[in-house]
Amino acid sequence: MFSPEFSALGVAPELLAALYDLEYQHPSAIQEQSIPLLLEGKNLLGTAQTGTGKTAAYALPLLQRLTPRKDKRPQVLVVTPTRELAIQVAQAMESFARKLKCSIIPIYGGSAMVPQLKRLSAGVDVVVGTPGRLIDHIQRRSLDLSAIEAIVLDEADEMLRMGFIDDVETILAAAPPQCQRALFSATMPKQIKRVADKYLGDAHHVQISSPTTTLDQIEQYHLLLHSGQKVEVLKRLLEVEKITAAMVFVRTKEATTEIAAQLSNAGFRAAALNGDLSQQMREQCIHRLKQAQIDIVVATDVAARGLDVERISHVFNYDIPFDTEAYIHRIGRTGRAGRTGRAILFVSSNERHLLRGIEQATKQQIALMPIPDGKQVSTCRINTFADSLRTTLTTQELANMRTLVEEIAAQDNIEMVDIAAALAWQLQRDKPLYPKFKEIAPPAPAAARRRERPQERESGAPTGAAGAMQGYRIKVGRRHQVTPRDIVGAFTNEAQLPIRSIGRIKIEMDSSYIELSSTLPERAITKLRTLQIRHNPIGLEIENSGTNQPVKSKYKKHPASSAKKSPRRTP
Pick the CATH number of 4-207 from 3.40.50.300, 3.30.930.10, 3.40.50.970, 3.30.70.2190: 3.40.50.300
Angle ∠(325,328,331) on CA atoms, nearest 5: 150
Cβ within 8 Å of residue 423, ≥6 positions away: none
Q: Is the pLDDT of residue 556 over 70?
A: no
Q: Is the pLDDT of residue 446 over 80?
A: no
> Does pTM surpass 0.85?
no
Query: What pLDDT shows up at residue 70?
Result: 78
Q: Is the pLDDT of residue 42 over 80?
A: yes
Q: Any idea where the domains of the chain sit in the sequence?
A: 4-207, 218-372, 375-427, 450-562
- Average pLDDT over every residue of 32-54: 88
DSSP 229: G
Query: What pLDDT shows up at residue 296?
Result: 96
CATH architecture of 218-372: 3-Layer(aba) Sandwich (3.40)
Q: Cα dihedral sign for 206, 209, 214, 215?
A: positive
Q: Is the pLDDT of residue 259 over 60?
A: yes
CATH architecture of 450-562: 2-Layer Sandwich (3.30)
- Average pLDDT over every residue of 252-280: 89
Angle between the N-to-C axes of helices 13-21 and 83-96, in degrees from 0 to 180, rounded to the nearest 10:
110
Cβ within 8 Å of residue 154, ≥6 positions away: 54, 55, 58, 78, 79, 80, 81, 85, 89, 184
218-372 matches 450-562 in fold: no
Do 275 and 253 meet the contact criterion of CB atoms below 8 Å apart?
A: yes
H/E run at residue 461? none
Query: What pLDDT shows up at residue 178?
Result: 92
Total Cβ atoms within 10 A of residue 241: 16
Reported as a pLDDT band with limits 50, 70 and 90, residue 467 is low
Q: What is the DSSP string of 74-108?
A: --EEEE-SSHHHHHHHHHHHHHHTTTS---EEEE-
What are the residue ranges of helices labelled H in 65-220?
83-96, 113-122, 131-140, 156-161, 165-174, 190-199
Reported as a pLDDT band with limits 50, 70 and 90, residue 1 is low
Between 477 and 462, residue with greater pLDDT: 477
